[in-house]
Structure 1
């Protein structure tokens, strides 16, 4: 899981669609901010958010913003994947900021600057289909759960958003799997091309579950991804509310009020509130992200004995104790501000 998202279709009403950072190709924190504060001062000019023109324009703008943000943090993202997945060549660097710098240096020396962006093209390719699927899914699910104004309740909107998030992650998860495997590959003698990598993933067999293979291999780690949505959403929403209320109480506000009647926060204050929310949510869901990464790269290391969450978690604990579930977390914190902005 990487940083929370401001959906590429953030202009449309999907404010309760919350996906853990690493799963959302765009930025979740700003959508949390929008969801909780509705920070549009009264009297501000509004647009018809149901119009096709608005949806396309906001979708394109959000998608391009997501591409820019992901490109900015791509080198850190690759290092984090190498740390989380315990890559044999880079695990020695995990645990300190010096290690991050050393890992970036080693990648640059052995693979060139482009090595810092290995797998990034798949990330960019995933942004727009992810947003489009989430938009369509949200509209359909919302239509089932909220049939009239009387059913316009927070829990129904949250349920619609959560189900839309799971749906979009499900359909784009194979791309996430491919991205992680590309980023994890560090062998100098032979680097897989996209076609060869997909073929290898498809034909891998787990010794614990020999009947599982084929397309199912592209969904390794999907269960901790879905489970991670709940602590992420709950903690990040809670922290955004607490920090936002504290900032308003201490005067970090502009003139005017939001649609919910609260004073409008300064832009910097809203940025800080969203950043704290993202960091808190990421901390809560991070162990599940580490478990997911280890499950995704099992076949790449020639170790196909462990496939389930419990087995993977037990192995991480045996190897590194509790700290093993938080390796690379500081890199996640460093990515918060670029993703929120």
Structure 2
């Protein structure tokens, strides 16, 4: 009987953790959705917006053009796919983090920077594995700026229309590696995993650094409620500040991986008949912009990531206090 009660309590905590993480992710993403749209256009080298890239003011001028062309809805284009992705992504990430954290660091005395980094990296990798196709759909919807129907009328990209276009994209040409051709012929679902390997590698330094910084600063700056509980006595303001700094450091460490991933994700649009690989994508970025090419849009990244992480961590902790776990 006690075993059943323990399982019920554990399942209840997982559900609460998922709700807290999912809500936190959705709120944070909504706050920065317009900046996210502009950043994707810059990272993926959309030709209509490259003239704005490279300066802080360019982000706002690009946003003004999007607003002028498409109104408020243009600034949130692709956001429906973002919310469909971010709720399960954030839910899985924070559930995994809570579970891995309790496994590696059951008490505050057992917390180390390596364990904090490992808990964040593992939780990030798990969440990316399960939600990557939704991220690809979001990027494609944000990247597309012009669609025309058979009658010549502009058509706003939709979730289902974008999914159909990705699935219908040409398979790799004979110049692509045979193994890639065979895999995509056999498993067309792989079209929804363009850039996945870069994303998986990139999430390790990003999530690992974010949770390492979060855990370290909370352990250093935030007092515990009591010796028996070991729980940090944090405030929403402290959560916002620590979350913001965590996001800034994580973004700096992982940004080159994000640029490579974005280029590979839109490869089906720029070169629909080929499967872009790591090496050629990195060379193309280097040839076009040198080292700076791997950091294009980083200023917008800070404008986006700092408030997003601040809100995400603060809402996550606020939801945990609200749901009492």
The interval holding the TM-score normalised by the smaller chain is 0.7 to 0.9
Match of 1:33 in 2: none
Helix, strand or coil: the match of 1:216? helix
TM-score by length of 1: 0.69
Aligned runs of 1:175-254 on 2, under 5 Å?
A: 175-190=134-149, 191=155, 192-202=157-167, 203-207=169-173, 208-209=176-177, 211=181, 212-213=183-184, 214-236=188-210, 239-240=213-214, 248=221
Quote how far apart the aligned CAs of 1:267 are.
Answer: 5.1
Query: Structure 1 residues 266, 132: CA separation in 2 closer, same or farther (over 3 Å shift)?
Result: closer
Quote how far apart the aligned CAs of 1:69 are.
Answer: 1.8
Quote how far apart the aligned CAs of 1:63 are.
Answer: 2.3
Match of 2:264 in 1: 295
Match of 1:65 in 2: 24
TM-score by length of 2: 0.72
Distance 2:122 2:30 in 1: 28
Quote how far apart the aligned CAs of 1:111 are.
Answer: 1.7
- Kept after mapping to 2: 8 A contact 1:298/1:304: no
Superposition RMSD in Å: 3.8
Q: Does 1:284 align with 2:253?
A: yes
Distance 2:41 2:242 in 1: 30
Quote how far apart the aligned CAs of 1:136 are.
Answer: 7.3
Quote how far apart the aligned CAs of 1:327 are.
Answer: 1.1
Match of 1:117 among 76, 85, 89: 76
Helix, strand or coil: the match of 1:171? helix
Match of 1:319 in 2: 288
Quote how far apart the aligned CAs of 1:296 are.
Answer: 0.2
Distance 1:174 1:109 in 2: 30
Which is further off, 195-204 or 51-60?
51-60
- Kept after mapping to 1: 8 A contact 2:171/2:272: no
Quote how far apart the aligned CAs of 1:121 are.
Answer: 0.7
Length, aligned pairs only: 285
Match of 1:340 in 2: 310
Aligned runs of 1:146-165 on 2, under 5 Å?
A: 162-165=121-124
Residues 242-298 of structure 1 show CA distances to partners (whole Å, capped at 9, x for unaligned) of 76688x4xxxx6685677979867654553333222211111100000000000001
Distance 1:133 1:238 in 2: 18
Quote how far apart the aligned CAs of 1:316 are.
Answer: 0.4
Query: Structure 1 residues 320, 306: CA separation in 2 closer, same or farther (over 3 Å shift)?
Result: farther
Distance 1:236 1:167 in 2: 16
Which is further off, 314-323 or 95-104?
95-104
Quote how far apart the aligned CAs of 1:185 are.
Answer: 0.3
- Identify, as 1 or 2, the structure richer in helix: 2
- Kept after mapping to 2: 8 A contact 1:74/1:116: yes
Name stretches of at least 5 consecutive residues in structure 2 with no aligned partner: 1-6, 150-154, 312-325
